[in-house]
A and B are shown apart, each in its own frame.
Chain A
Amino acid sequence: MTARDRLFANLGRALAMAPGRVSPAEAAARLDRRTPNLIPDRAQGSGEELVERFVQWAERVQATTARVATLADVPAAAADFLNRHNLPQRLRLAPHPLIEGLDWSSRPLIEVASGRAEAHDLSSLALAFAGIAETGTLMLHSGPQTPTTLNFLPDNHIVLLPARAIAGSYEAAWARLRAAFGDDWPRTVNLVTGPSRTADIEQELILGAHGPRRLHIIIVDDDARQEG
C-alpha cells in the first residue's frame, strides 16, 4: 500500500459518519455552482464608481496611478513616470499586441524592447487582466504575451489597466478569467496589491523588499486600438 492509499483509507474511515458529509455528486454540484459566499458592500457598484474606489485603495497601499483617455496617451504617461523618478528611459514591454502596438514616436528617447524581464531590466510595462476595486488589487496572469518576470524582476513595475477591466470583487474577476480561459488555465495568476514591502526589521515598513520598489498603474478609459 502506498502512502496515498493509506491516507485515503484513513480519511474514508474517519469521515464516513462525519456531520456535514455530502455525496461526491453534491460536492461536485456545489463546486459547479460557483456561488460567491459573501461579497462586501465595498465590492459592489459599477463603472466610474469602481474606478474611483480602485484608485483610492491602490493609492492607500503606496501604488501610484495615472488616468488617460486612450492608448495613444500611454507612452506619455509612462515617460512622465520615468522622468518623475529620474529613471533611465528604457522599458521592457509585455509582448502583447495591445502594448507592442503603442506608438512611441512621440517619445523618441525611450528605448523599448519586448519580452520577458531580464536581471538588468529596471522598468517594465505590463498588462493587467483585471483590477479589483475592493482592495485596489491588480490581477495579472502568465502567458506567451504576458510573462510573469515582468511583474517581479524590475525595480519599477508599470501596469496598463483598461478601465473596463476593473471589477468590484475578487469573485467578479475570477468569473472573467474563467470566461477567458475555460479549461486552459494559466500557470500563474498574480493578485498584486501595491509595491513589494517588508516589515521584518523591527516592524518598520520598507518598500522594495524583493519585488518592485514602485508600482505605477496607468488606467486607460478607452482601450480600443487605433488602426493605421
Chain B
Amino acid sequence: MQSTAFDFENNAHKALDDAELRQAMARVATNFTGGRAAAAARLPEFEALRDRAVEIKNHTIANLDHYLALFERNVEKRGGKVHWCATPREARETILSLCRQVGARTVTKGKSMIAEEIALNPFLAENGVEPIETDLGEYIIQLADEPPSHIIGPAVHKTKRQVADLFHEHHRKYGKEKILTEGGDMVAEAREILRQKFLDADVGITGANFLVAETGSTIIVTNEGNGDLTQTLPQMHIVISAIDKVVPNLEDVSTILRVLARSATGQEMSVYTTFSTGPRRDGDLDGPGQFHVVLLDNGRSGLLGTEKQDLLRCIRCGACMNHCPVYHAVGGHAYGWVYPGPIGAAIDPVFLGLEEARHLPQASTFCGKCEQVCPMRIPLPKIMRHWREESFERRVTPVVPRTLMEAWAFVARHPRLYGLGARLAARILKALGRDGKIVSLPLGSGWTDGRDFPAPEGRTFQEMWSARRGARS
C-alpha cells in the first residue's frame, strides 16, 4: 500500500474527529483486553509459556539459516517449492508468474499481512488476475477499497451500518437488494457469494503464521475456515510468508500456539489451525496439485545483530495494539502503513525508512502496556526509543524540535543554568495563573485547548529543599 506514515500528525487529527471510528475503537479497548486477561488467568502456566516461547524464537533466530535451509529441504522432499525473494517486487513477480503458469483468472486469498506488505492485490489486478479476499474483515475492506486497520481484525474500524451499506452497494449485482440490519444476515450473504468464488478460483493464496522446519509445513491460524477453502479447492496453493516465521519443530510451534490465540482474541485456541505440507498426494481426493512457498526478506535479515533484532520474534497477534492508548485514540489507519499500533511504530521504519516513518516511534506515551502484554516480550518502547535517538542523530528530526532538544540537553547538563531556568519558569507561570490554573499558554495550546494547565505556586523544588535544609541545620 501507498504509505501516508509521514503524515501521521494530520491522519491522527482527522481520526480524532471521526465519531464512528471513536465508537468502533471503544469496543477494541474493552473486548480484546478483557478477553486476553481472562484467557491468561485461566491458564496458570501462561507466563511460563511466554518465557519458553521467547527462548524458542531466540534460538531459532540465532540459527535462522540452519532452520530456513531445513524448511526448504522438507518442503521440496514433499513435492513443494520454495521461492526466495529479497524485495516486495521480486515476491509480487514470483506470485504473478506462478498464477500465469496455470492461466489463473481469479485467485482467492486468505488473510495475509505480508501480501499487504508487498501490495499484492493492486499488482495482480493490474496484470489481469482478479484477487478476491475471503476473510470477512478483509472482504469488507476490499469492497471499501481501504487498507486493514488492525492486523487480526482488518475491519475493526467499521460499524455494522457501514458494512450494511457496502454490501448493499456491492451485492446488488448478485441480486441481493435488501439492506441488512443483522450481523448474522450479513455473514450469511457474504458466505453465499464467496462460496462460489472459492469453487471457481484457479489459485488460492494464503499467508502463514508459522513455518515448521522439521516437516516443511506452513501453518495458518483462522476462525472462519476461509483459508482452508482457499487452499484446498484450487489447483495451486501459494503461501506468501517471510523468513522470520520459521520454528524448529512441532513441539516448538505447539508451545507458541498456546500463547497466540490467548494473547490475540482471548480464545483458548483459534478454530482452525492448519498444517500444509506439499501438494496433494497420490490417491488423495482433494487438495491442490501444486504447493509453492514464497519467502520474503524485505530487510528482516538486516535486523540481525542490531538492537532491534527482538522484532523478529513477533507473531503478529495484535495484543500490543489492543492495549495501546494511542491506537485506541487514533485507530490503525492513522499510522499510514501496513502494521499499526506499537509493533508498527517499531517495525514500519524498517520497511519504509526512518525519513518516511519518523513520526511513528513518537506516537507512544511509553506507558509500557504493549511490552507487558506481548507474548514474545518484545521491548517495544525500548526499540521506539532507539528509533527516536537515530532520528535525532541522523538529523531526520526537523531543525526546530532538534534545536529545542539540543538546548534542553545543554541545560540539563548544567545544574546552575537549569536551576536558574526553573526558578524563572516557576515565577512566570505563577504570574500567568488565575486561581491556580492557566487557561491559555503561549506555545502550549496543544495542552490548554483541551484542559487547564495547573499553575505552579512560584518556587521550585530545589529552592524549597535547600530552604528546609537550611532551617534544620
Contacts and interface: CB of A to CB of B under 8 A. Distances in A.
Chains A and B are bound partners = yes
B76 to A, nearest CB: 12
A208 B63 CA distance: 41
A147 B285 CA distance: 6
A196 B450 CA distance: 45
Contacts of B195: 119, 210
B160 A202 contact: yes
A20 interface: yes
Contacts of B275: 188-191
Nearest to A38: B52
A212 interface: yes
Given A31-B249, A40-B43, A40-B44, A191 B228 contact: no
Interface stretch (B134-142, B416-424, B458-466): B134-142
Contacts of A10: 301-302
A101 interface: no
A198 B223 contact: yes
A114 to B, nearest CB: 10
Contact of B228 (A11, A14, A24, A152): A152
Contacts of B302: 10
User: Which size class do B's interface residues fall under?
Assistant: 35 or more
A189 B62 contact: no
Contact of B232 (A60, A188, A189): A188
A144 interface: yes
B396 interface: no
The CB with the most chain B CB atoms within 10 A, among A41, A201, A212, is that of: A201
B56 interface: yes
Given A40-B45, A169-B254, A201 B187 contact: yes
Contacts of B154: 200
Interface in B357-396: none
A184 B64 CA distance: 26
Contacts of A24: 66
B273 interface: yes
Given A187-B279, A192-B272, A209 B191 contact: yes
Interface string B245-268: 000111110110110000001011
Contacts of B184: 206
A191 B58 CA distance: 26
A143 interface: yes
Nearest to A22: B63
A194 to B, nearest CB: 5
A143 B254 contact: no
Given A7-B297, A200-B140, A152 B232 contact: yes
A201 B251 contact: no
| Secondary structure call for the A interface | loop
Nearest to B196: A119
A158 B233 CA distance: 21
Contacts of A209: 136, 187, 191, 223-226
A45 interface: no
A11 B45 contact: no
Given A153-B229, A209-B191, A144 B84 contact: no
A186 B270 CA distance: 22
A200 B135 contact: yes
B276 A188 contact: yes
A103 to B, nearest CB: 24
Contact of B213 (A31, A188, A189): A31
B277 A8 contact: no
Contacts of B234: none
A194 B272 CA distance: 8
B90 A3 contact: yes
Given A21-B62, A208-B191, A196 B225 contact: yes
A131 interface: no
A171 B160 contact: no
B67 A27 contact: yes
A171 B251 contact: yes
A57 B153 CA distance: 25
B9 to A, nearest CB: 29
B136 A200 contact: yes
A216 interface: no
Nearest to B156: A203
Contacts of B49: 38, 40
A34 B229 CA distance: 31
Contacts of B194: 210
Given A40-B43, A170-B254, A149 B286 contact: yes
Interface string A13-41: 01100111110100100110011111011
B78 interface: yes
Contacts of B86: 3, 6-7
A199 interface: yes
B215 interface: yes
B95 interface: no
Contacts of A88: none
Nearest to A57: B268
A187 B269 contact: no
A98 to B, nearest CB: 17
A14 B270 CA distance: 35
Nearest to B90: A3
Contact of B284 (A144, A169, A206): A144
Interface of B: 24, 27-28, 31, 43-45, 48-49, 52, 56, 58-59, 61-70, 78, 84-86, 90, 134-137, 140, 153-156, 158-160, 163, 183-184, 186-188, 191, 194-195, 198-199, 213-215, 217, 223-226, 228-229, 232-233, 243, 248-252, 254-255, 257-258, 265, 267-281, 283-287, 297, 301-302, 304-305
Interface of A: 2-4, 6-8, 10-12, 14-15, 18-22, 24, 27, 30-31, 34-38, 40-42, 57, 60-61, 95, 115-117, 119, 135-137, 142-144, 147-149, 151-153, 169-171, 174, 185-204, 206, 208-212
25 contacts: A3-B84, A7-B86, A8-B69, A11-B64, A14-B301, A14-B305, A18-B305, A20-B61, A21-B62, A31-B248, A37-B52, A116-B285, A117-B286, A119-B199, A144-B283, A188-B276, A189-B277, A193-B269, A197-B224, A201-B160, A201-B183, A204-B160, A208-B188, A208-B191, A212-B225
Given A171-B250, A185-B277, 15 more contacts: A11-B65, A31-B70, A41-B44, A135-B268, A144-B283, A148-B228, A188-B287, A193-B268, A193-B269, A195-B271, A197-B224, A201-B163, A203-B31, A209-B223, A210-B229
